[in-house]
A and B are shown apart, each in its own frame.
Chain A
């Protein structure tokens, strides 16, 4: 089966940097995605890593190490609007399986 582990909550200060880690166990791994979800809304796609290394998209970066079954999402220059839940998700075979999500609290 598949399982993903990520912290349930993280708190950071506006303007700071925060890293959300994700470890996974799966068979047939294709890649690791990250999604953002605000309260009451649907998840929105942030990034996808199929290969090892760092992918940067604006203030957000995502990293993958396939050998360690580990990835992280890095958010820089935090803004209050970044307060949300962040899910790592594994593409395994023909479907995407989500982690339990990390609730990011941002303090002014």
Chain B
């Protein structure tokens, strides 16, 4: 099946620094990529949707100036957590989607996630 990678898998940083997380679709072109955040024992919360070559669409309550998303190519999207604070510590998961299916099998593939710890 399709593969989505994320890098790094784990990152620990100091409060106030910025962290960049990469999401790559390895064997397909992703027209749309999604970024989710998951706190321990909670659900995945959609943060933003990004389409290649255009600005990301952020969900309500997500600060676009804090969580910068770039989707410069059909295989790469990046999420930068700027001026990270301990409350930003979470599991960040990206997913990538190919062309929208017509009632067929779901075509959204998830990356393995990045665990961010802010000290």
Chain A residues at the B interface, C-beta cutoff of 8 Å: 30-31, 33, 35, 41-45, 48, 50-51, 87, 91, 94-101
Question: Which chain B residues lie closer than 8 Å to A31 at the CB level?
Answer: 103, 106
A95 to chain B, nearest CB (A): 6
User: B108 touching A42 by the CB < 8 A rule?
Assistant: no
User: B100 touching A43 by the CB < 8 A rule?
Assistant: no
User: B32 touching A94 by the CB < 8 A rule?
Assistant: yes
28 contacts between A and B (CB under 8 A): A30-B103, A31-B103, A35-B110, A41-B113, A42-B111, A42-B112, A42-B113, A43-B44, A44-B110, A45-B108, A45-B109, A48-B105, A50-B104, A91-B106, A94-B32, A94-B49, A95-B34, A95-B46, A96-B34, A96-B46, A96-B95, A96-B106, A96-B108, A98-B36, A98-B43, A98-B46, A100-B42, A101-B43
Interface string of B19-33 (1 = CB under 8 A from A): 000000000000010
Question: Which chain A residues lie closer than 8 Å to B81 at the CB level?
Answer: none
| Bound Cα distance A35, B108 (Å) | 11
Question: Which chain B residues lie closer than 8 Å to A51 at the CB level?
Answer: 103
Name the residue of chain A whose CB is nearest to the CB of B4: A42
B93 at the interface (CB under 8 A from A): yes
Interface centre among A43, A51, A101 (most CB of B within 10 A): A43
A4 to chain B, nearest CB (A): 9
User: What is the number of residues of chain B that contact chain A, defined by CB distance less than 8 Å?
Assistant: 22
Question: Which chain B residues lie closer than 8 Å to A96 at the CB level?
Answer: 34, 46, 95, 106, 108
B33 to chain A, nearest CB (A): 11
A49 to chain B, nearest CB (A): 10
| Bound Cα distance A51, B105 (Å) | 11
Question: Which chain A residues lie closer than 8 Å to B106 at the CB level?
Answer: 31, 33, 45, 48, 91, 96
A102 to chain B, nearest CB (A): 10
Name the residue of chain B whose CB is nearest to the CB of A32: B106
Question: Which chain B residues lie closer than 8 Å to A42 at the CB level?
Answer: 93, 110-113
User: A87 touching B32 by the CB < 8 A rule?
Assistant: no
A50 in complex: contacting residue of B44, B95, B103, CB < 8 Å: B103
